[in-house]
């Protein structure tokens, strides 16, 4: 592919609005794009798109998600910046991985290069990646998420997503009855003291994202329903946190999602290879640890040789100002191509 074609690919992917559970259109686009490039491609029951070049070990997996959070952002171009929902998270990473994959179409190497565009990453439980893990081998994994062309993401916090019901008794607001809202406040105060580390990445954090306790202004509600998103530092299991929370809680818990944190060594071969490629392209590599979670938390079960890389400013994730600089995008493709070539042993940095 020529550079213009790689930029056009990015534009077309961003133009397609694809919130979680509504990825079919972008999935069909990727499927047809790969088919038109005369590559073997499959589309599975979760609308994942999977293509392979080569055969046998080593197996290198390039994967990113095609879904976005909901809320359309008008597609527009301002100079070298492309705006639109998913421009940053994570369609520029998806397009960069796909473009680097296409660059290997006519190269000779020993091994298998796999591209997978997956669904459902922005929804609980990452249905696309769970399905993908059932059907692919991976000795090495490059996961696409925004972190800038010079950034290498080596860690993510885990997640514990809970729905909690606090019960009380409907009564006059002037009474001394059980107020479920106060139970939630008391619970929050207790949880806020748990597992404090030296910084946010090393600490347990939590955010109530939904609270419902409908009642009249002078009536104490009978219940308070809360959705709470806990983020858990690597090394602390979500099962341990759930057990401790349960002991503090005067309420009923529904587990929506639980996944452990992940961190990879700076001596990981993929990290070291990306460092070389980034330097070769004139940048100073930066290591990043993110306080959210990603499919890396799951994919590490396939191999510890895993790293997250992709263009874009992650502070723009899920905002109405999502955009990507095309120069950065193109540079990230060069860096990925160089790193993949090094792993396959078909190029020297």
- Across the range 234-244, mean pLDDT stands at 96
pLDDT single digits (tens) 319-340: 999 999 999 999 999 999 999 9
Rounded distance between C-alpha atoms, residue 53 and residue 41, angstroms: 10
- Continuous segment of H or E residues that includes residue 109: none
Number of helical (H) and strand (E) elements in the chain, helices listed first: 9, 18
| Active site amino acids | 67, 121
pLDDT single digits (tens) 9-49: 999 999 999 999 999 999 999 999 999 999 999 999 999 99
pLDDT for res 183: 92
User: Computed over its alpha carbons, how large is the radius of gyration of the chain?
Assistant: 22
Which residues 6+ apart lie within 8 Å of 88 measured at CB?
146, 312, 313, 314, 316, 317, 322, 323, 324
- Give the residue among 238, 288, 239, 240 at the shortest CA–CA distance from 261: 238
- Give the residue among 145, 219, 206, 135 at the shortest CA–CA distance from 179: 219
Using DSSP, state whether 66 is helix, strand or coil. Answer: coil
Is the Cβ–Cβ distance between 315 and 79 less than 8 Å? no
- Give the residue among 305, 304, 156, 301 at the shortest CA–CA distance from 232: 156
In this model, does residue 216 exceed pLDDT 80? no
Which residues 6+ apart lie within 8 Å of 312 measured at CB?
87, 88, 89, 90, 92, 93, 146, 147, 148, 324, 328
For residue 19, the Cα-to-chain-centroid distance in whole angstroms is: 14
In this model, does residue 278 exceed pLDDT 70? yes
| pLDDT tier, 220 (very low <50, low <70, confident <90, very high otherwise) | confident
Cis, bond preceding 58 (omega within 30 deg of 0): yes
- The sheet with strand 323-325 has its strands ordered as 76-78, 81-83, 323-325
pLDDT for res 347: 54
pLDDT for res 226: 96
* Mean confidence (pLDDT) of the chain: 95
Domains along the chain? 3-156+262-344 (3.40.630.10), 158-259 (3.30.70.360)
What percent of the chain clears pLDDT 90, i.e. is strictly above it? 90
| pLDDT tier, 74 (very low <50, low <70, confident <90, very high otherwise) | very high
pLDDT single digits (tens) 86-119: 999 999 999 999 999 999 999 999 999 999 999 9
Query: Exposed e or buried b for every residue in 54-76, given b needs 16+ CB within 10 A?
Result: beeebbbbbbbbbbbeeeebeee
**DSSP state at residue 68:** B
Angle between helices 92-102 and 326-344 in degrees, nearest 10: 50
Query: Exposed e or buried b for every residue in 241-258, given b needs 16+ CB within 10 A?
Result: bbeebeeebebeeeeebb
Is the Cβ–Cβ distance between 341 and 291 less than 8 Å? no
Rounded distance between C-alpha atoms, residue 96 and residue 45, angstroms: 24
What percent of the chain clears pLDDT 70, i.e. is strictly above it? 98
Rounded distance between C-alpha atoms, residue 171 and residue 232, angstroms: 38
- Across the range 45-59, mean pLDDT stands at 97
């Amino acid at each position: 592919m020529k550079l213009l074609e790689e930029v056009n690919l990015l534009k077309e992917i961003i133009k397609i609005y694809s919130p979680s559970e509504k990825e079919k259109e972008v999935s069909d686009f990727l499927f047809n794009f790969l088919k038109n490039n005369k590559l073997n491609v499959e589309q599975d029951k979760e609308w994942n798109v999977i293509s392979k070049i080569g055969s046998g070990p080593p197996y290198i997996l390039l994967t990113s998600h095609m879904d976005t959070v909901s809320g359309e952002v008008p597609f527009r171009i301002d100079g070298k910046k492309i705006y639109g929902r998913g421009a940053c998270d994570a369609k520029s990473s998806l397009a960069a991985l796909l473009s680097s994959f296409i660059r290997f179409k006519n190269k000779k190497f020993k091994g298998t290069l796999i591209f997978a565009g997956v669904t459902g990453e922005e929804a609980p439980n990452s249905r696309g990646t769970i399905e993908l893990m059932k059907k692919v081998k991976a000795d090495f994994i490059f996961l696409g998420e925004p972190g800038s062309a010079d950034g290498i993401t080596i860690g993510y916090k885990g997640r514990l997503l809970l729905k909690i019901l606090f019960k009380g008794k409907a009564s006059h607001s002037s009474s001394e009855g059980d107020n479920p809202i106060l139970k939630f406040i008391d619970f929050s105060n207790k949880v806020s003291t748990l597992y404090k580390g030296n910084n946010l990445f090393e600490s347990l954090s939590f955010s109530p994202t939904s609270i419902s306790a409908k009642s009249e202004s002078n009536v104490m509600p009978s219940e308070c329903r809360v959705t709470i998103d806990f983020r858990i530092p690597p090394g602390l299991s979500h099962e341990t946190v759930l057990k401790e929370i349960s002991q503090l809680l005067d309420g009923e818990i529904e587990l929506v999602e639980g996944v452990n944190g992940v961190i990879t060594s700076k001596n990981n071969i993929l990290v070291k290879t990306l460092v070389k490629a980034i330097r070769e392209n004139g940048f100073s590599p930066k290591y990043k640890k993110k306080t959210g979670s990603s499919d890396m938390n799951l994919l590490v079960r396939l191999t510890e040789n895993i790293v997250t890389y992709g263009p874009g400013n992650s502070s723009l994730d899920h905002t109405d100002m999502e955009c990507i600089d095309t120069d950065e995008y193109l540079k990230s493709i060069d860096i990925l191509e160089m790193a993949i070539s090094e792993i396959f042993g078909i190029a020297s940095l």
